[in-house]
Amino acid sequence: MPKITLNRVFALSLLGLLGGLALLFWLVFHGLQVALLKSAEEARDRDSDTIVDSVTTYLSHAPGAVAKFQALLAARLVNVSDPGSLRDALLAMIIHDGEISEATFTFAKSRGLDAKGTPIIDRTTVGQVSLFRAMSGVGYVHRNTWFQAGKFYSTHTHIALDGQENAVEPPVEVPNPALHPTFLTPIRKPFYGQPVWTDLHYFAIDQAMPEAQRRVEVSVQKAIDYPPGQLAGVLRVGLFKGAIDRAVTKSPAIDTSTHSIFICDNQGRLIAMAGPSRYMDSEGDLRLAPANAPRQILDALKLPALQTVDKTSLPVSGQFVTSGTTFLCTFRYLPDTQDWIVGMAVPEKVYLGDLWKIRTRVYLGSLGLVTLITLMGIVILYTVSVAHAVILREAAMMNEFILDPSKNSCHFHDINRVLSSLERAKTAMRSMGKYVPMDLVRRLYHRDEEPSLGGETTQLTVLFTDIKSFTAFAESRDADTVAIHLGAYLEVLASVIQREKGTIDKFIGDSVMAFWNAPEPLQGYSALACRAALAGRAGLERLYGTPAWEGMPGFVTRFGLHHCVASVGHFGSPERFNYTAIGDGINLASRLEGLNKYYGTTIMGICVETPGPCGGEREDAGAGGI
pLDDT digits (tens, 9 = 90+) for 494-521: 999 999 999 999 999 999 999 999 988 9
pLDDT score of 615 = 43
pLDDT score of 521 = 92
pLDDT digits (tens, 9 = 90+) for 10-29: 777 777 777 777 777 777 77
pLDDT digits (tens, 9 = 90+) for 295-311: 999 999 999 999 899 88
Residue 137, pLDDT > 80, answer no
- Where do the DSSP E strands lie in 418-524? 454-467, 503-508, 511-516
CATH class of 61-240: alpha beta
In contact, 44 and 344? CB cutoff 8 Å: yes
Q: What are phi and psi of 102, to 5 degrees?
A: -150, 155
pLDDT score of 622 = 32
pLDDT score of 616 = 44
Angle between helices 355-399 and 413-432 (to 10 degrees): 20
Residue 401, pLDDT > 70, answer no
CATH topology of 35-59+244-352 equal to that of 61-240? yes
Q: CB 375: neighbour CB atoms within 10 A?
A: 10
35-59+244-352 folds as: Beta-Lactamase (3.30.450)
In contact, 285 and 199? CB cutoff 8 Å: yes
Percent of the chain with pLDDT over 90: 46
Of residues 154 and 138, more confidence is placed in 154
> Which is nearest to 601 in space by CA: 537, 510, 516?
537
pLDDT score of 2 = 62
Distance CA 446, CA 465 (A): 33
Distance CA 330, CA 306 (A): 9
Residue 525, pLDDT > 80, answer yes
pLDDT digits (tens, 9 = 90+) for 72-117: 999 999 999 899 999 999 999 999 998 899 999 999 999 888 888 8
H-helix or E-strand spanning residue 156: strand 151-159
pLDDT score of 84 = 92
78: left (phi over 0), alpha (psi -120 to 50) or beta: beta
pTM for the model stands at 0.55
Burial of 219 (0-12, 13-18, 19+ CB in 10 A): buried
pLDDT score of 295 = 92
Domain-wise residue ranges, the chain: 35-59+244-352, 61-240, 447-618
pLDDT digits (tens, 9 = 90+) for 353-363: 777 677 777 77
pLDDT score of 195 = 93
pLDDT score of 614 = 46
Percent of the chain with pLDDT over 70: 91
Residue 212, pLDDT > 70, answer yes
pLDDT score of 625 = 29
Name the pLDDT band for 435 (thresholds 50, 70, 90): low
Name the pLDDT band for 336 (thresholds 50, 70, 90): confident
Sheet order of strands, 340-347 included:
270-273, 260-265, 340-347, 325-334, 316-322
pLDDT score of 451 = 74
**Pairing mode, if any, of strands 231-240 and 201-202?**
unpaired
Cα angle 401, 402, 404 (rounded to 5 degrees) comes to 135
pLDDT digits (tens, 9 = 90+) for 530-540: 999 999 999 99
pLDDT digits (tens, 9 = 90+) for 254-284: 887 888 899 999 889 998 887 777 888 887 7
Intra-chain end-to-end CA distance of the chain, in Å: 66
Residue 30, pLDDT > 80, answer no
Tell me, rounded to whole angstroms, the distance of Cα 432 from its chain centroid: 41
Distance CA 181, CA 219 (A): 12
Residue 623, pLDDT > 60, answer no
pLDDT score of 167 = 66
Distance CA 614, CA 607 (A): 6
> Which is nearest to 300 in space by CA: 286, 316, 312, 314?
316
Give mean pLDDT, residues 210-222. Answer: 89
Q: Count Cα neighbours of 81 within 13 Å in the Cβ-side half-sphere.
A: 5
> Which is nearest to 66 in space by CA: 243, 203, 197?
197
Largest CA distance in the chain: 150
Residue 292, pLDDT > 90, answer no
Of residues 313 and 567, more confidence is placed in 567
Residue 176, pLDDT > 70, answer yes
Burial of 183 (0-12, 13-18, 19+ CB in 10 A): buried
pLDDT score of 436 = 62
Give mean pLDDT, residues 230-246. Answer: 90
Q: Which of 100-104, 143-147, 202-206 has the lowest mean pLDDT?
A: 202-206
447-618 folds as: Alpha-Beta Plaits (3.30.70)
